Copies of this chain bind each other. A is one copy, B any other.
Amino acid sequence: MELVTKKIQFSTKGNCEIINLTDMVKIHLSDYNSKTGMVHLFIAGATGGLTTMEYEPGLVDDLQQCFQRIAPVKGQYSHNLAHDDMNAHSHVRASLIGPSLSIPFENAILQLGKWQQIVFIDFDNRPRKREVILQIIG
């Protein structure tokens, strides 16, 4: 067994933009020798999250609306009373969804469901440069 670390870098618009990372993960996996193992993803940052979903425009909108119900942009937040960045909702959403995700692979193929894609959600309220750390164990 070995562990290899890679990085996926990309730009985001923020404001709950949901970005499909599946193809970028597949490219890194195709460079890797082992056929069986696990891909672990981690976002270094307190206003982004990782999960999986069927990546189609309706569900992108539905998931964004759900975050708006759980932690609305214009809610009452203690953080915003003391900080000018006004992104308390971004932080709360990111803590709920979590920064890490692990996906198995077999025969060098990610074992996702037919409609299941790996997504990064940028909860921050401004464009960002993002880096997802990818570790392959196999």
Residues on A lying within 8 angstroms of B by beta carbon are 1-3, 5, 36-38, 40, 42-46, 51-54, 56-59, 61-63, 65-66, 69-71, 76-83, 88, 91-92, 94-104, 106, 111-117, 119, 133, 135, 137-138
Q: Is the CB of A42 within 8 A of B103?
A: yes
Alpha-carbon gap, A53 to B131, bound state (A): 17
In the A-B complex, the 10 residue pairs with the smallest Cβ-Cβ separation, listed nearest first, are A58-B79, A45-B113, A58-B78, A61-B78, A44-B113, A46-B116, A46-B54, A53-B95, A62-B77, A100-B102
> Chain B residues near A100 (CB, 8 Å)?
101-103
Q: Chain B contacts of A115 at CB under 8 A?
A: 45-46
Decide yes or no: A51 and B98 within 8 Å by CB, A77-B58, A116-B46 being known contacts: yes
Using known A-B contacts A92-B66, A116-B44, determine if residue A79 contacts B53 with beta carbons closer than 8 Å: no
With A42-B103, A44-B113, A116-B46 already in contact, the answer to whether A92 and B69 are too (CB < 8 A) is no
**CB <8 Å contact, A102 and B58:** no
Contacts of A79 in B (CB 8 A): 56, 58-59, 61-62
Which of B88, B104, B138 is close to A42, meaning CB atoms less than 8 Å apart?
B104
Are B40 and A102 closer than 8 Å at their CB atoms? yes
